Structures are given as C-alpha cells and as structure tokens.
Structure 1
Amino acid sequence: MTSTWIKAALLTSLVSMASGVLAQDVQPESEADLLIWTDKTTLEYMKFAASEFNKDFNYDVQFTFRGLAPMDAASRMIQDGGSARVADVAEIEHDLLGRLVVAGGVMENLVSADDISRSFMPSAVTASQYKGVSYGFPVSFSTLALFYNKDLLAEKPKTFEEIIDFSSNFNDYKENRYGLLWDVQNYYESRMFLTLYGAYEFGKNGTDAKDLGINSALAQKGLYAMKALRKANSSNPSDMRNPQVRRGLFNEGKVAAIIDGPWAIQGYNNSGINYGVAPIPTLDGKHPRTFSTVREAVVSSYSQYPRAAQLFASYISSDEMLMKRYEMTKAIPPVSALMEKIMKKTDEATYAIITQGFSSDAMPSIPEMGYLWSPMASAITAMWVNDQQPKQVLDHAKKIIEEQIAFQE
C-alpha cells in the first residue's frame, strides 16, 4: 500500500501547483472508485451529490455508498484503517475528529481549508480543526432548542423564569406532570447552565487540555443558577434518562416544555401535539450557550484515491450542495450566510434552531473531551439530587478528569 505520507505529499504538491486557481483544476485519479459512508437518512442526497459531481466537472468517478451512523464510521476508521478497506470519504460528528487525527485515520483538508475559514460559522471552523490544522469538511450542524406545548403555554417562553412561574400551579410529581424536562444528568444538555456566566471546558476555544475550566468560579455560579430550575423540573432525573419517556410525557400533554434537538422533530410531528419551538430562554437575564454538533466529511488517510476523495468532500461542503442537502434532508448548513437565507422562509423549528445556533459552541473535538462526560454527569447529579454544593462537586469532577488525562499521557 502506498505510504500515507506519500499520498499527502502528492496532493499537497498538486494543490500548490494549482495555487490561485480553482480546486477543480486538481483532477481525480483515473479509474477512481470511492466508498462513501454516511447516515442512512442521507444516502439519497449523497447519491444525488455524486451524480452532480461527475456531471458538473465531467468526471467519471465511480461511487459505492453505505449507510453507517457517524459514530460507527469513526470507530471503524480508527480500528480498521490499514487492515481493511474503510470509506474514502466518511461523515462523522466533529467531537470524534481529534481521536481520528491522533490515530492517523484522516487526511488534512488540502483543497478548501481557506474557504471554510472565511465563510463558515466560527464554531464550524473550530470543529473542523485539530491543533490549528483543518481536517474536516463541515456539512451540517445541530443544537438544542425549547419545544413547548402551545395548549399549555400560550406565549412562546422567553425566560426560564416564566416556566418556573407556570410550574407552581402545574407540576404534580404523582401525575408525572412537569413544567420543564430535559436530561439533567447528560452534560450535553445541562452544559448550557454551567457556562451561563462565561465558564468553559477547555481553554483556547476548547483546544487546550491543560486549561480545564469546569470548576471555575463562573462554572460554580452557573451550576448554582441551574438549581432554580428544580421548581420547574421536579422529576427524578434517573427516571427521565430515557428520551422516549420524556418525549412520551410531552406528547401526552403532561409536560409544558422540553429541551430537545432537531432529531426529535419527526416524532413530535407524528404525535399530533400542538407544539412550538423557541430558542433556549434566558436565565437570570443571560442567554445560555448550548453545545452544537457539527457533521463533517473527512477523507481517510488510507484512501487509494486521495485527490478524488478530497475533491468530493469539498464539493459536498460547497454552498450549492449544502443548500441542496437542506432541501432534501432539512440538515442545516453551518454557513452564516446560508443560515440567514434559510431563516427568511422556513418553519418555526428550523428558525429556532438556527437562532440558537448563533448562541452555541461546538463541542471540543480534542480527545480529552471524552473524559468529561461521566465525571460531569456525576457532579450535576450530586448537586441536583443530593443538594451538594457546586464547588464541592466540580472540584471532585476536575480531579477525576485530570487524573484520567494524566494516565493517558
């Protein structure tokens, strides 16, 4: 097998020679045959994109498609790269990028990194990079929003305090009736409160593992502010870990508002509930910053056709194809200009998610992020259920996370 370094050098050379001209001046390898991994819901779009790719540039690249969940795709690329054929182009969630890079599984973006830096939303740019080097080709993003029952809350909630006030005459633990639900123990969903006053996970926009900020004074203040929401969410968080339980109660009209993501929209539509969607409300006058997840295409370091793979990954992250993807799948493009264009004529849910997207931070994609989930879940649970102090639980979480990071070094 040709050395990965030789392939990368070859493509770098080609791009250098094409300096000042369009990426398509770099041609695919003759008889290129690309294997594409993408989510099953995106297969039809990807087949369309492949056809248009060949048509637009008069290429004759062959394609094979396989529906594979992004997490499974990343795992396969890490485990099987070099020993079995993996996708030439795969779509992953960005928080796994760091692990892929460290494992040597993905190739640097050598054709459109500058374009991405110029036109994509900042969180998507950050999500596509590892240690300042661009690897990913962002294709969509998602974040959390507030879904609310219009028959219970006549007005779109703008503050969490409004929901707390409503809950005082609505909540009934025995009847499983709550003003607000979310997966309290899941740091992905509760993170917005810990960072309410400006705290962060890792310094330098999530890239500095040596600067762990989860127990700062600002983080403690945010976690303390989250306590006020127990009046609205008086459920047992362990009982509400299952999303189907939470969504089922919402669909039955027993929950006035639920924090969820675009992945839940189809289920709510099928339930027939009269619901609306809003950006995450303010708490204590502050706009919570949710985590956002960026879907991105990556090119395998083991691809036998690196030029064709890079050109196709760049093509599906172009404005034209991102808009076509949105039309076919409702996946929101992580490009500010395109988001603003979509907002002028879209449904309420997409509008709310895009709006919240402007107040979101991409999950850190460094490998050390993997050590946060369990300790932070335990910290939040200890504060929420056992009424322990934020400083105590966050100091303990930081100690565990630092020990785990040090053990791996």
Structure 2
Amino acid sequence: MRKFGLVSLVMLLVMGLLAGCVSRPSDNGGGETVIPDKPEKLVIWESDEWVKNVEKIAKKFTEKYGIEVEVVGVSELEQRDTLKLDGPAGLGADVVTWPHDQIGEAVMAGIIIPIDEWIEEGTLEQFYEGAIMAMHYDGYLYGLPKTIETTALIYNKDIISNPPQTWEELWSVVKEHTNKNDNRFGFLFDFKNFYFVHGFFAGMGGYVFGFEDGVYDIDDIGLNNQGAVAALELIKEFTDGGYLPLSTDYDVMQDQFNLGRTPMIINGPWSIQGFKDAGINVGVAPLPTLPNGNNPMPFSGYKGWYLSAFSEHPYWATKLIEFLSNKESSELRFTDTNQIPPRHDITFNDEIAAAFLAQGEFAIPMPNIPEMRVVWGNVSDAIDLATRGEMGSQEALDQAVKFIRDGIAEMHE
C-alpha cells in the first residue's frame, strides 16, 4: 500500500523549513543525543471547563522540568481556526487538543506536525492499540490520546437486573418488554445514524475504508460487502417486526429511556449524567455478541494532545504531551472530569467507566480523514431506504458506496 502521499511530501517540506528555527535533539558526533535547551515557557490550549485540571498537571510538569506552562482556555471547536490565525504570528500554543477525527484536516492545513521524532521509546505501548491508531494520519503519529468515548448498551437497572450478553438473550428481553399498543419497546437506538450502528456493521464484517500501516485506503470501501448487508438485515429485523419504530431517532430514544418506557438503548458516556438527573438507575454493559459470535465493534472517538506546527520547542512540547498523557496525569483527569483515559495500566472502580472501557476494547477509531464527510449521510440514507422497504439492503448499500465514491472523486478534483 502506498504510504507516502502528497500530504506526506508536503509535511516533509514543512518540517525541513522549520528545522532552522526550532530546537530539536541532535547528535554531538560521539553517538550521544544532545537535548535542546529548555524554553522558559510552553503554552497549552484547553477547553475552559477543563483548564483547572490541566493547570494541576502543568504545575507537576514545571516541578519536574523547571519549565513554566501557561494553560489558556480555548474551545476545542475553535482551536484549529484560531491556530491558523495565531500560529504564524507567534501567538499560538505549543500543545493543542481536539477530537481525533479532526487530525486529517489539521494536517492538511499545516497546523500540526508529527511527534515520532521526539516520542520516548515504550510510550505507545501504554495505550490501547485503537487509541494509538487514532492518533496516526498517513503513517505518522501526531499526538497522544487523553480520553476515549464509545457507545455501549445502557440499561435501566430497575427494569433489567442482568443485561443480555448474546443476541439471543437480547431478543428475549426485547420481546418481553415490548408492548406496541402502549408504545413501549424493549430496545431503542438511533438506527439511521451510522455512528450508533457501526458496531453492527463492523462486527458482522463490514468496514468503512481499508487500513494498513497507519494509512486509510479510500479506494477500498467495505460498506456493501456481505457483512455490511447482514448488519443492515439485523436492523431490519427490528423495524420490520415492529420492535423499532421508524420514527425513532436520538431524541425519541432519550425521551423514552428517561421516562422508563424502554429499558435498553445504545448511547455514550456523555448521556449518563442526564439519565441520573432524571432519576434513572442507570447501568452500562458491553453490547451483546452478534449472531456470528463476534462482539459489536462501535466507533470510538478519542481526544488527543497534538504538537503545533508553530512551536519553536517541539522536543519539549512533546515531553509535555507525554506528561499530560501519563498514568498519574490520566488518573487525575478522570478524578476531576470523569473522562476515561485509554490506558492499559489504569483500573477503574467506577462500574460505568469500566463498562465503557470494556466496550472500548472492541471499538474501532472513527477514520480521521476528510473523506469521512461523504460517508455519514450516504450510509444513513441507505439505512432509511432499506428499513422503509424502498430498496433491498444490498441495493441500498451499493448505491451508498457509489455515492461515496462519487463524493470522494469530487473532493479530489
């Protein structure tokens, strides 16, 4: 598979231009690495609500390395655009943060650079493989993960004491707790939203893009293969049988669960506090195994720390990224924010966090390439057409893949 595309060549040129103005390790001629001089200060951008947590971690970094760290509150949604403007003027941060699916567009914009050159040996092995996979783009590592989010089975413990572990058990619970005349359903999920049903597609053998050696192959699309068609047929079993109303969307699912009218849904950790506030005795478990015996493989989303292309101190900024992501810092972040770190060496006493992390073991990172933007709507349309009976599952997915290919071609014109 081609590893070095146009983006990689551009990044190599950018890194070459930056080489004369940034501090980096060098060989002193005797085979020993010379560490660059320490800067007086490094700057981190973090969302306003988490600034206090990062300030605690930054203080520990300063105590260890003697480098002042300034933590500036900047919304994750605004950091990319702000860095494009402030970075060239020397006003940007050394370390920035946002969801991993924005890495591709940030690389294309030239505002972050790889950290492979400065990362300490053995660091990557501390994280879940999927988390490190998510931090890569076009074969290069651009950051380290700080949090994971994925979807799992959320259930009402006052209605269901033991969540189903197999597909057969799931259907047993669904039928027991469905009363169509009373508008009660045993299991609701936002079935036309590909984010929430990707676990079925991937678990049955479908995939979005081929992936090898840290590179996505946009010519290899697996959304209309035998596994993907089987996954759509599983969804149709619910809709065709009247166990999942065609009107179900995210808001309907949420409302029905909050009212205690459905005992099981698919959702993520962001929803938990709202359920608790509504008085629901909420539980979380991995999604039941599929008819083929595989675990569902939902999308996982990661937030990471990234190295600004405008940092004059990439070595020390990378040391800061490592420090922000280490075991002690990750435990402190979870304590302060309930955000789950994707590390092997942290055990959670919190049963909800542990359940999401257990599901995360099977999750697949959302592709972080710009071409994903043409996937979402087309797959959702295919699900809609198939569940309404306007097309068969194979035909609907074939059409979706055609439209996805057409959309990608337009992006590259």
Q: TM-score, normalised by structure 1?
A: 0.87
1:219 aligns with 2:237: no
Moved more, 329-338 or 111-120: 111-120
Q: Which structure 1 segments of 5+ residues have no match? A: none
Q: Which of the residues 90, 107, 115 maps onto 2:113?
A: 107
**Percent identity among equivalent residues?**
29
SS of equivalent to 1:364:
coil
With over 3 angstroms needed to count, the CA separation of the structure-2 counterparts of 1:52 and 1:132, relative to structure 1, is same
Note the C-alpha offset of 1:192: 1.1
Aligned to 1:375: 378
After TM superposition, list the pairs within 5 Å mapping 1:168-317 onto structure 2: 168-173=175-180, 175-205=182-212, 207-230=216-239, 231=241, 233-237=243-247, 239-242=248-251, 245-284=252-291, 285-317=293-325
| Whole-angstrom distance in 2 between the partners of 1:256 and 1:84 | 53
Higher mean Cα deviation, 379-388 or 137-146?
379-388
The 5 Å alignment of 1:349-364 reads 349-364=352-367
- Take 1:257 and 1:290, find their aligned partners in 2: how far apart are those partners? 16
Residue 10 (structure 2) aligns with = none
> Taking structure 1 as reference, are residues 356 and 111 closer, same or farther at Cα in structure 2, changes over 3 Å only?
same
In the alignment, is the contact (CA less than 8 A) between 1:116 and 1:125 conserved in 2? no
Out of 341, 348, 351, the position equivalent to 1:348 is 351
Give the superposition deviation at 1:391: 1.0
Q: Relative to 1, partners in 2 of residues 1:309 and 1:153: Cα closer, same or farther, differing over 3 Å?
A: same
| Matched position secondary structure for 2:207 | coil
Amino acid at match of 2:370: P
The C-alpha deviation readout for 1:84-138, integer Å capped at 9, x for no partner, is: 8443322111111111111111021132264343332111111111111111121
Q: Greater helix share, 1 or 2? A: 1
User: Alignment partner for residue 120 of structure 1, among 124, 127, 134?
Assistant: 127
Task: Please point out which of 128, 140, 143 is paired with 1:133.
Answer: 140
Q: Which amino acid aligns with 1:96?
A: Q
User: How many equivalent residue pairs?
Assistant: 394
Structure 1: distance between partners of 2:45 and 2:36: 23
Is the partner of 1:152 in helix, strand or coil?
A: coil
* Aligned partner of residue 207 in structure 1, secondary structure: strand
Q: 1:372 to 1:200 in 2, by over 3 A?
A: same
- Quote the Cα distance in structure 2 between the aligned partners of 1:337 and 1:232: 44
Aligned partners of 2:151, 2:221: CA distance in 1, in Å? Answer: 24
Partner of 2:364: helix, strand, or coil? strand
1:215-260 CA-partner distances (Å, limit 9, x unpaired): 11221122222322334742234x5233xx4223212111110111
Task: Give the residue type in structure 2 aligned to 1:153.
Answer: I
Contact 1:39–1:67 (CA under 8 A) maintained in structure 2: yes
Q: 1:179 to 1:20 in 2, by over 3 A?
A: farther
Segment drifting more, 384-393 vs 374-383: 384-393
Distance of aligned partners of 1:248 and 1:225 in 2 relative to their CA distance in 1, 3 Å threshold = closer
| Aligned Cα root-mean-square deviation (Å) | 2.8
Q: Structure 2 regions of 5+ residues with no counterpart?
A: 1-13
Q: Would you say the 8 A contact 1:127–1:364 is kept in 2?
A: yes
Q: 1:72 offset after TM fit, Å?
A: 3.3
Q: Is the 8 A contact 1:29 1:307 kept in 2?
A: no
Q: What's the counterpart of residue 14 of structure 1?
A: 25
Equivalent-residue separation in structure 2 for 1:9 and 1:335 (angstroms) = 36
TM-score (norm 2): 0.86
Change (3 A) 1:255 1:7: same
The 2-side partners of 1:175 and 1:119 are apart by 50
Cα separation, partners in 2 of 1:13 and 1:85, compared to 1, 3 Å:
closer
